[in-house]
Structure 1
C-alpha cells in the first residue's frame, strides 16, 4: 500500500501573516507541492486565524478544483469553526481535532466514550455531505473500535510521542504501540492516517513498523525543509521516504 502525502500549509500562512504583503503565497506553495507529486493539501483554520485565514480555505478549494485527483483535508475542532468550512467547501476529508481555542498545537486525541455523543451527529452530517471523517486519536488500541462506532471513516494517529522517542531507547516501544493501534483500527474497519512531528528523519522508520498507513499529513518539518531546499525538492524527498518504507529494511 502506498502512503499518500498531504502537505500542511499552516506554517506558510504563519510567515505570511507577519506582514501585509501577501507573501509567501499559499496558492503558489500548494501548486508547487502538487506539481512535485504531493497527494493532497491540509489546512487547520483556527478560530484566531493565527495562520490559515478563512479566505485561504476558499482560495485553496478553488485551486484544488484543477487537481481532481488530489485531496483537500481541512482539520480542526468541529465545535469551533470547522463545520462552517465543511458545509461550504465540502472537502474530501475533515479531520476532527480536540483543540482548545487558544491551544499552541494539537497535543492529544479524542476520548471515548466521553466524546461519543457530541461527535456522532457532526460525523453523520459530514458523511451526508460526502465528506470523509478522520478522528485525531492517541495510539490506544482499545479506543479504535469505539471511534468506529461513532461513524468515523479513519483515525489520524497522533505521532508526537513517537517523534520524541525516535533515535532514543524508547523508539521500538513506541513503534509497537502505534503498530498495535493501527492493527486495532484496521480490524474495526477504519482507515489509518498519521501526523504530528513526522519528518524526513523519522518517517520511513514509522511507515515500516506501522504498515498500511493510508496518509500522512506533514507541515512543520516539511515547510522547514522547504526553506532550505524549496518546495519541489522537499516534497520529492518526503515521497522518497514513503517509497523507501515499501522496501524491506536490510
Structure 2
C-alpha cells in the first residue's frame, strides 16, 4: 500500500511514516519546505515538495499518481494566525480531497481535533481579536474540513484526538463519537491512523480518541 501524508514534517506524520515503512508499506510525506525532505527520508519514507496553499487540485493530483490512500496531518501550527488556520487546516484538507478524487484515490484519513464542532461562531471570525479567538478559528477550520470530507463519497475516517503528548505509546485507547476530555501520545494517534488504513477499519466513522484501556485494533473494530 502506498500512503501519502500531507503535513509530512509534522510530529504525527513522521511517526506515522516510520510505522508505515516498518509495516512493509510505502509512505510519502508531502512537505512545503525542501529543508524538511531529509527528516522525512530518515523515517524510510519518500518526500514530495508541494505547497498546499499554492497548488491547485490538478497539480496536486499529478503528484499523487500511484497512491492508494491519503492522510491529512497538516496544520498551520502555533502562532500562524487566524487566516492560515483556514487556508491550511480547512482549505488544504479540501484540496487534498479534491486532488485524491481526481487521482482516483478513495481512501482518506483526517487527523482533526477533539470537540471541533463546539467552536463559538461569534469568535471564530477573521481577523481574530486575540489568541482565544484564533483557537476558535482553528476549531472552526477543523469542523468545516471534517464536514467537507463527510459530504464526499470517499471512504473516509476522521480521527479527533485529545491533547497531544510526546510520551511513549501505550497501545490502548478510548474511542467514541465523543469521549471525556483527555490526552493521548502522538505515537498512539499515528498507530490509530495506521490501523485504520491497513485494517480498513472505521470507514465512514468520525470519532474522538484519548488514551484508554482498549487495544487499538479492537477499539477500531468496535466502531467500524
User: Above 0.5 in TM-score?
Assistant: no
The higher radius of gyration belongs to 1
TM-score band, normalised by the shorter chain? 0.3 to 0.5
TM-score, normalising length from structure 1?
0.37
